Structure 1
Amino acid sequence: MTGAELPPFPRPGALPYLTVADARDAIAWYAEVFDAELHGEPYVMPDDRIGHAELSIGAGTIYLADEFPDHGVVASDPDRVSVSLMIPVADTDATLERARARGATRIREPYEEYGGRNACFVDPFGHRWMLYGAARRERGTSGSTSATDDQ
């Protein structure tokens, strides 16, 4: 391999690598809320922290690990989120309700804009998720039609 060549990247595009305070709980939470599937077994460190786990959510992939403060890697502060993850979902309202029932903090109730039904929440691990699903009018039911109806 010359200096100009790179080894193959394991996934196409950018990959979010989430740091959480409890990776085992996060893996279970993402499975319950997003139907995430774990790829292989998480890499468990000698001190029992998860050093790496890989989850598929729909057509996307996320990596996650426990905190490693000695390396400057700490979980997000749920009150000060700097990154949002947008995710397509089959049913915005149902996904938001599953998240809320499992401890998520709602940021925005479902609203219709840009041709879809959107909502936003922060998960119990401090990560902000923006849901994007089919508009209710496309599914044959009524619902709010602007971002300001539910605020």
Structure 2
Amino acid sequence: MTQALPPVLGGVCPYLGVSDAGRAADFYVKALGATEVMRMPPDEKGRYMHIHLVVNGGSLMLADAFPDHGHPLETPGAFTLHLQVDDADAWWKRAVEAGAEALMPVTDMFWGDRYGQFRDPFGIRWSVGTPIQKG
């Protein structure tokens, strides 16, 4: 590799192992407005070891499962990836229209955000929130 790797952005950077990292990256571009900044070439089976996206100003890394190298596909655990965004309604709608499963429509919440949840086609639960404008 002769080019410098793009910098990792944000505080915590999720690295997701999914069933089809190339398709997941394409979905996140469409559903979350992600920008793809790096994709390593796939192996002979079409699997990606590394894809780097930027979503809402932070890095998101993806890889396919490699059970033959000790990295099997696992069911996502009890976590939610949260995006604090400028317009939760628009982000939620775009994701659902792109194929995400609606889990919780965006609504005004007691803590002061408009907030909603969806699950992407790869089993990852996401939430979006925007502070409610007062006044």
Q: TM-score, normalised by structure 1?
A: 0.73
- State the Cα distance separating 1:139 from its structure 2 match: 8.2
Separation in structure 1 between the aligned mates of residue 90 and residue 117 of structure 2, nearest angstrom: 13
- State the Cα distance separating 1:43 from its structure 2 match: 3.9
Decide whether the 8 Å contact of 1:43 with 1:53 is kept in 2: no
Separation in structure 2 between the aligned mates of residue 41 and residue 103 of structure 1, nearest angstrom: 23
Pairwise CA RMSD of aligned residues? 2.1
Could you say which structure has the larger radius of gyration? 1
Q: For the structure 1 residues 108 and 67, does the alpha-carbon distance in structure 2 shift closer, same or farther, using more than 3 Å as the test?
A: same
* Aligned-residue identity in percent: 32
Query: Which structure 2 residues correspond to residues 100-139 of structure 1 after superposition, within 5 A?
Result: 100-113=96-109, 114-135=111-132, 138=133
Q: 82, 87, 91: which one pairs with 2:83?
A: 87
Q: 17, 23, 31: which one pairs with 1:19?
A: 17
- State the Cα distance separating 1:99 from its structure 2 match: 1.5
Corresponding position of 2:50:
52
DSSP-derived class of the 1:51 partner? coil
Which runs of 5 or more residues in structure 1 are unaligned? 1-9, 141-151
- State the Cα distance separating 1:38 from its structure 2 match: 0.8
- State the Cα distance separating 1:131 from its structure 2 match: 0.6
Corresponding position of 1:62:
60
Which runs of 5 or more residues in structure 2 are unaligned? 1-6
DSSP-derived class of the 1:25 partner? helix
Separation in structure 1 between the aligned mates of residue 57 and residue 112 of structure 2, nearest angstrom: 21
DSSP-derived class of the 2:49 partner? strand
Separation in structure 2 between the aligned mates of residue 44 and residue 62 of structure 1, nearest angstrom: 18
Aligned residues: 126
DSSP-derived class of the 1:98 partner? helix
- State the Cα distance separating 1:40 from its structure 2 match: 2.5
- Post-superposition CA distance 1:23-51 (Å, at most 9, x none): 12111111111111111233422322111
Decide whether the 8 Å contact of 1:18 with 1:64 is kept in 2: yes
